[in-house]
Structure 1
């Protein structure tokens, strides 16, 4: 009788749940919370405990409330399910139209592959997953600099995807509060790497992915205008100084800097980078992953006798001193900055503690870029045509 009820639950899921008068609200590793608008009979309670293998708690809800969704995710223990049960049914409904299914995969991995595959097919630079409400998670992608929804997931499949990504990224599965960063390379995403970052929020855990090419693209393939290419190459061949690439999130700043670093490395000069984390593996470059210990790795990088220092991103005051020391000691310094335009770069560096006088003398070139259009194309401008003193004065 119990097996027949479980079979009915799968085959006529919504009808059965509505007649029994309950829906699943939340699930943990050891317990489930059921919302009910009818008395929870001993038979139904036994069914739920057998189906999930967990203790059942219930609370009264109003089925007319839009926040109460009729959901019933799949169990962890497959030996309680009927032979014809499809454990990926709920995920398949959520991802209908997002590509073909792959046979013989666990439902969690199937869902993960289809999510990432859909993001890559749409040329997304980022994917984010976070809890947007009591029983739902939002999955969004960034394409061409704008964010849009990819799919909405229920609690159980969303947490399954989150755990799989943390596991593949080498993150601590038990840590759901403190920030964590890592890197993933899936064999079924050839030519792609993924930067993963997680952090806790009051409702749960938020995840962000950045899609990367495993090899940086050459500078000539980025869509820069010939005049900009010529200006960058002139700066690289000239005197040491500071070259900054700036723009909004997802505009390709790191891609541009990595391409520049590869050009420099091919000339025989020694390039040392300090990044957190390393996003592109650049041939001929000594790349140091700081793991948040920039104050230790930046001086260590200078002791590696570099000709060129590549700082992944200038974010705080502790970056300014080693950056300016490198410039003053005759190094070319490459970095990125979240700022809008050349004046914004100067203002940000001054606010972080950089000397105006040194910027006048050593700020060699600023490349401002953003992605525009559909498909997204790089729109860049070079600020090196202006002398440094004019930049600083206009930023005051």
Structure 2
């Protein structure tokens, strides 16, 4: 069983899959990967072997082996060829009490740096991290936002970094990491208020998802902190609309946001995937049209990827709108 599981994990990591799926069928488990937001079937496992894999993974992630119906979450650190992979596990049983499992793979930021098309886009974020204010990462699930935030935070020498996430996705012993627990009245806004008393230099905020968190993040940025956070939006300039819907004014954004970095995993001609950024600085925010979503540079970068034969014409057209 463990050999089959090691083979599945190795194949997923080599392809830089964002998720591994173990889905129960009538007489087997279907194994699939998510690559650049698209599901790909990989193989079938006999029911007995598949269930053994699930039990082994649940044990490693400190999840209950006896519970197969109710949803469970767990975390596990997997080492592969010297690389550390952070795994978030989620299980749930269907109406027939058949359990499924999904593993979210979160890769180390140093390795991730090798997976970007343009080094100057990476350097732009690194330079922005030397200043104060908000750097907002956006993009679909699995596009590497959390890995990027942690990578850039690790480069800030002699800085106290405090993380607030739901849940903590990457264990970093050099950071102070707080986990959201709404039932214990420890939401993002609550933890931010307490965290400010620790006087950190840098905040990693897992997600700005409500008005209270948005206001708290702005206050932290105005008080001189560097904030690395994510916002769910379908484009770089869509982040602005999302934050305005959460009660922030354009004046708030102009004073606090220094960079919005939207990223997509783009399939390449050699079968791998790489990240392309659409990056919007404060000056672009001031001049952007209300209906504009992606910057003009996004299309230009895609064209350059195609001209360099990194991506196909089909992929260029598919991602033209972000």
Aligned with residue 246 of structure 2, among 336, 352, 365:
352
Are 2:44 and 1:152 equivalent residues in the alignment? yes
Q: Structure 1 residues 362 and 186 mapped into 2: Cα distance closer, same or farther (>3 Å)?
A: closer
Gaps of 5+ in 1: 1-107
Offset from partner CA, 1:264-301 (integer Å, 9 cap, x none): 2x1x2221111233333446422223356434433332
Secondary structure in 1 matching 2:176: strand
Secondary structure in 2 matching 1:341: coil
1:366 Cα offset (Å):
0.7
Aligned with residue 163 of structure 2, among 257, 264, 273:
273
Are 2:273 and 1:376 equivalent residues in the alignment? yes
**How does 1:221-260 map onto structure 2 within 5 Å?**
221-223=114-116, 225-238=118-131, 240-260=132-152
Q: Is the 8 A contact 1:216 1:282 kept in 2?
A: no
**Across the two proteins, how many residue pairs are aligned to each other?**
284
Aligned with residue 191 of structure 1, among 83, 91, 100:
83
Q: Is the 8 A contact 1:360 1:392 kept in 2?
A: no
Distance of 1:178 and 1:343 partners within structure 2: 39
1:332 Cα offset (Å):
1.5
What does residue 205 of structure 2 align with?
Answer: 311
| Segment of structure 1 superposing worse, 164-173 or 186-195 | 186-195
- Kindly indicate whether structure 1 or structure 2 has the higher relative contact order, using CA contacts under 8 Å at least 6 residues apart: 2
Compute the TM-score of the two structures, normalised by the length of structure 1.
0.63
What does residue 4 of structure 2 align with?
Answer: 111
1:309 Cα offset (Å):
1.0
Are 2:21 and 1:128 equivalent residues in the alignment? yes
Distance of 2:47 and 2:198 partners within structure 1: 48
What does residue 24 of structure 1 align with?
Answer: none
Q: Is the 8 A contact 2:163 2:205 kept in 1?
A: yes
Query: What is the RMSD of the two structures over their aligned residues, measured on CA atoms?
Result: 2.9
Distance of 1:299 and 1:199 partners within structure 2: 34
Q: Structure 1 residues 354 and 230 mapped into 2: Cα distance closer, same or farther (>3 Å)?
A: same
What does residue 27 of structure 1 align with?
Answer: none
Distance of 2:26 and 2:129 partners within structure 1: 53
Q: Is the 8 A contact 2:117 2:274 kept in 1?
A: no
Gaps of 5+ in 2: 294-322
1:258 Cα offset (Å):
1.3
Offset from partner CA, 1:125-170 (integer Å, 9 cap, x none): 3211223x44443221123443201113343332222221111101
Secondary structure in 2 matching 1:342: coil
What does residue 366 of structure 1 align with?
Answer: 260
